[in-house]
Amino acid sequence: MKFLVLNGVNLNLTGRREKEIYGGETLQEIEKELAAFAEEHGHSVEFFQSNWEGDLCAYIQEAEGKYDGIVLNAGAYTHYSYAIRDAIAAVSVPVVEVHMSNVHAREEFRRNSVLTPVCKGEILGFGKYSYFLALESFWL
């Protein structure tokens, strides 16, 4: 199986930003571990990060027939991007929404996701391991 891991706005700062919430590893370090994890289980994974909403929509749209699943951490776009929501709804590729932090234990505005209703599922609160759990959910 082949997967796409998409990371949205500000996730390029992982490892430098709010380490008490997101940890000290960079996004590139986490991606390297995820790639090894997928490979150990006979799968492959590709990665993309953008601070631009349209880029994320384009990658979701282009995933049709190319990937077996998408792991998406949209960052703050989670709470208000109807464009990303519509892109997810427009494709048959299943998407698992991921958050490193427990968004329900944080500020009120983070508790609402416009993406969750069109996703296969949501995994949150396990730090970098949220990504691993999301990947694993596709082949279990």
> How confident is the model over 59-71, as pLDDT tens digits?
999 999 999 999 9
Question: Is it the case that residue 107 has pLDDT exceeding 80?
Answer: no
Cα 114 to Cα 8: distance, rounded to the nearest angstrom: 15
Mean pLDDT of the chain: 96
Q: Look up 41 and say whether it is catalytic.
A: no
Number of domains in the chain: 1
Catalytic residue among 59, 77, 99, 131: 99
Beta strands in 18-128 (DSSP E): 44-49, 69-73, 95-99, 121-124
Catalytic residue among 22, 67, 77, 131: 22
Cα 8 to Cα 39: distance, rounded to the nearest angstrom: 24
Q: Which two tokens stand for residue 93?
A: 């590729």
Which CATH number fits the domain that encloses residue 108? 3.40.50.9100
Q: Look up 43 and say whether it is catalytic.
A: no
pTM for this model (two decimals): 0.95
Residue-range definition of the domain harbouring residue 85: 2-139
Tell me the average pLDDT across 100-110.
Answer: 85
Query: Half-sphere exposure of residue 124, counting CA atoms within 13 Å on the CB side?
Result: 21
